[in-house]
Chain A
Amino acid sequence: MVGLNWYLVLSALLFCIGAAGVLTRRNAIIIFMSIELMLNAANLALVAFGRFIPNVTGQALVFFVMAVAAAEVAVGLAIIVTIFKHKESVDIDKVNLMKW
């Protein structure tokens, strides 16, 4: 029997992997994917809670999150494309015109 805690541990791991990806990678698209991973970690936790409580709100929220994430990806990729046009690169270390 796979209990709630297993799901939660998996979710926490995914979240940490995502966060680590954000912190260590320099490619904007990979960072963006890592963030999606973090969102999905949260989704997993929501679904797991919803399954074990039991309560459907969690699952309903996950659908919203997926929709929102899709919108975010659409906008995000467009922004990354414009950056690429300016810099010929999607390395975030090259994006530091504004500082201090």
Chain B
Amino acid sequence: MSQNLYIILLLPLGGFLINGLFGRRLGDKTVGVLGAGVIGAAFAVAIAAFVELLGMPHDSRIINPTYYVWLAAGELKIPFGLLLDPLSGVMILIVTGVSFLIHIYSIGYMHKDPGYPRYFAFLNLFVFFMLLLVLGDSYPLMFVGWEGVGLCSYLLIGFWFTDDVKATAGKKAFIVNRIGDFGFLIGVFLIFSVFGTLTFKGVAEGASVFNGTPALAFWMAFGLFVGATGKSAQIPLYVWLPDAMAGPTPVSALIHAATMVTAGVYMVARNAFLFALSPAALGVVAWIGVLTAIFAATIALVQNDIKKVLAYSTVSQLGYMFVGCGVGAFSAGISHLMTHAFFKALLFLGAGSVIHAVHYAHAHSGYHGDPQDIRYMGGLRRRMPTTYWTFAAACLAIAGVPGLSGFFSKDEIIWKAFANGQPVVGVTALIAAGLTAFYMFRLLYMTFHGEWRGGKGQFEHIPESPKVMTLPLSILGVLSIIGGWVAIPHILGGGAWFEEFLKPTFHSAEVLLAHTGHPSLAAEYSVMGISIIIAIAGILWARRWYVLHPEIPKRLAARLKGLYKVVLNKYYVDEIYNFTFVQTTLALADGCWNYFDTPVVDGLVNGTAAVVGWCGGILRRIQTGLIANYALVMAIGAAVLVGWMVWK
């Protein structure tokens, strides 16, 4: 097994090639079975690999097969090797497992879509790149996966390309991620120039004897973190993720909730040894994380689109994971990554099930409304019991109700923030946890409780989703409940098995950070107690507002109209970005209209791209087409060049 780890990569790649090249000829049924089947097989291989990993001694659980020397140039030697250690072991289980369920779900969800083969081909390709990202044992290999998942996400967001909004959303995701990639690449080049190698193993060894300046360590880690903020939708690069919800809902579940967006967290954890060199960089990680967590949570409070709520919730939860990493509790961050993958995938799939059903009802009653707006839903629990119960389980898990998966992972992060000397971060995270409980139950109550608020005569048409969709929901529901049990802390009588399991991976980082203080048990209990109280309070508060007294929020919204509007419009961040980058550009363009008489900007409507594109539009005017001008510029250039050479 250990040498044949590559099989896990070949399976989805094979699925992609077959579905992509011959999908149209195979027929939808074969495509679906094949697409899901290869991922199922990959999941089986992942389990086998994981079991083998467990069979090894605790401190040396590393499988690192190298297949060939990928590139060699002087000092630069990069093997094509895969790295399976506790960290990537957990990741491949999450990636293949959740993907498998979502593939199955997609068979039902995408039924009769004209792009069916294309959809499964892209989805398989995504899984391939994600596994490569996770398993690659060097920065370039990780970067291959990193770019690949970005490309797939881009293609899948714009999957229904007939819709202009969706194509724009894809483009936005793309541009924002480029900014992140720039940081990533700069970080990698710095790492190469400092350590002279690009394998994780080599850099880790170099980092353990690193004696450069703190500034250097900071910029290396910071560059990588900029990459992470792009991929994992953190402030200030989070703006693409809510728009990315334009893609099919299973795609949102897989890529924009469970796996791809967590790649940034994985990358930070993978580079724990590097971040540990720079406490300042870790501080940045923790603060960006917690600010994102609370910022996105407040936006989620008032959104009315079922997927938008979940999108902002994802941004917020990703913030928690970065808090975990930032306070040096890498295993807590990864543990939250895992539980979040379960309950957030479940929430999205549940939302997909709801949208699917409401859409169906709309279609059968000739009513054309937004099938995603929760203001026109309600009472759905009576029509869709399985969806309701699984959705409720996920809400309880994310809210942090004791005993469920989200409780253990989130509580661990908050506790570590206090324990490792970041109390402000901890308090902020606690407040965000309360908000989380509130907006999740607001969503649950508005969707599934109360009376149907949509069009007349539709409610009876709402169907429960087919088995092929509810089965993955049920499985994920179970995982959302029990998934956190591997991480039950010592104080609750658990073994903190998860933390122990990941310990070898983060050992060197933890040695460097050396959190000496051993806060008391009482403190840990009290933090836990407070977080439970806050979660329960959030739930009850939502119940009071949206079940018992539904008029309160309306009254409040009316009274605080200004604030409500600001938050509803996501603090106008999109507008601010639009204004600072796009509008100033256009204003400038107005000023020099004579130089701007053709529509230069094709699709360059977005952020920095517009600025750069505008420069292009102006700069290209230098190219006048006249030989005389060219010769003149050449002569001036020649004079400057020769002048410099002689009189320097």
Answer yes or no: are A and B bound together in one complex: yes
- On A, residues with C-beta under 8 Å from B are 19, 22-23, 26, 31, 92-93, 95-100
CB of A96 within 8 A of CB of B624, answer yes
Contact A23 B631 (CB under 8 A): yes
Q: CA A100 – CA B597 in complex, angstroms?
A: 13
By DSSP majority rule, is chain B's interface helix, strand, loop, or mixed? helix
Are B627's CB and A95's CB within 8 A?
yes
Do A98 and B625 touch (CB < 8 A)?
yes
Interface pair A100/B621, CB less than 8 Å apart: yes
Set A22, A93, A95, A100: member contacting B631, Cβ < 8 A: A22
Contact, CB under 8 Å: A92 / B621 = no
8 other A-B residue contacts (CB within 8 Å) besides A23-B635, A95-B627, A100-B621: A22-B631, A22-B635, A92-B628, A95-B625, A96-B626, A98-B625, A99-B623, A99-B626
Q: How far is the CA of A92 from the CA of B623 in the complex (A)?
A: 15
**Minimum Cβ distance to chain A for residue B357 (Å):** 53
Residues from chain B with a CB closer than 8 A to the CB of A92 are 626-628
Q: A26 near B628 (CB under 8 angstroms)? A: yes
Q: Which residue of A lies closest to B617 (CB)?
A: A100
Taken residue by residue from 631 to 648, chain B's Cβ proximity to chain A (1 for < 8 Å, 0 otherwise) reads as 110010000000000000
Chain A residue contacts of B627, Cβ below 8 A: 31, 92, 95
The contact size tier of chain B is: 10 to 19
Chain A's closest residue to B616 (CB) is A100
Contact B620 A100 (CB under 8 A): yes
- Contact between chains at A93 and B621 (CB < 8 Å): no
B468: shortest Cβ distance to chain A, in Å?
54
Q: How far is the CB of B134 from chain A (nearest CB, A)?
A: 45
- Complex formed: what's the CA distance from A48 to B628 in Å? 32
Question: For residue B632, which residues in chain A have a CB less than 8 angstroms away from its CB?
Answer: 23
Whole-angstrom distance between the alpha carbons of A92 and B631 in the complex? 12
Distance, CA A20 to CA B639, complexed state (A): 13
Given A19-B635, A23-B635, A100-B625 contact (CB < 8 Å) = yes
**A residues in contact with B625, CB < 8 Å:** 95-100
Q: Which of B3-38 contact A (CB under 8 A)?
A: none
Q: Tell me how far the C-beta of A76 lies from the nearest C-beta in chain B, rounded to whole angstroms.
A: 13
Cα-based distance from A36 to B628 in the complex (angstroms):
17
Question: Taking CB as reference atom, which chain B residue is nearest A94?
Answer: B626
| Residues from chain A with Cβ under 8 Å of B631 in the complex | 22-23
Q: Which residues of B contact A93 (CB under 8 A)?
A: 626, 628
What are 30 A-B contacts with C-beta separation under 8 Å? Answer: A19-B635, A22-B631, A22-B635, A23-B628, A23-B631, A23-B632, A23-B635, A26-B628, A31-B627, A92-B626, A92-B627, A92-B628, A93-B626, A93-B628, A95-B625, A95-B626, A95-B627, A96-B624, A96-B625, A96-B626, A97-B625, A98-B625, A99-B623, A99-B624, A99-B625, A99-B626, A100-B620, A100-B621, A100-B623, A100-B625
- B622, closest chain A residue (CB): A100
Cα–Cα distance between A96 and B626 once the two chains are bound (Å):
6
Task: Give the Cβ gap from B268 to chain A, nearest Cβ, in Å.
Answer: 44
What residues of B have a CB within 8 angstroms of the CB of A31 in the complex?
627
Identify the 8 closest CB pairs spanning chains A and B, nearest first: A99-B625, A96-B625, A100-B620, A92-B627, A96-B626, A100-B623, A22-B631, A23-B632
B634 to nearest A CB, angstroms?
9
CB distance from B595 to the nearest CB of A (A): 11
Q: Output the least CB separation between B539 and chain A (Å).
A: 61
Chain B: which residue is nearest A97 at the CB level? Answer: B625
Please measure, in the bound complex, the distance between the C-alpha atom of A31 and the C-alpha atom of B624, giving whole angstroms: 19
Chain B contacts of A96 at CB under 8 A?
Answer: 624-626
- Distance A47 CA – B620 CA, assembled complex (angstroms): 43
Give Cα A100 to B625, complex, Å.
7
Contacts of B628 in A (CB 8 A): 23, 26, 92-93
Which residues does chain B contribute within 8 Å of A97, judged by CB atoms? 625
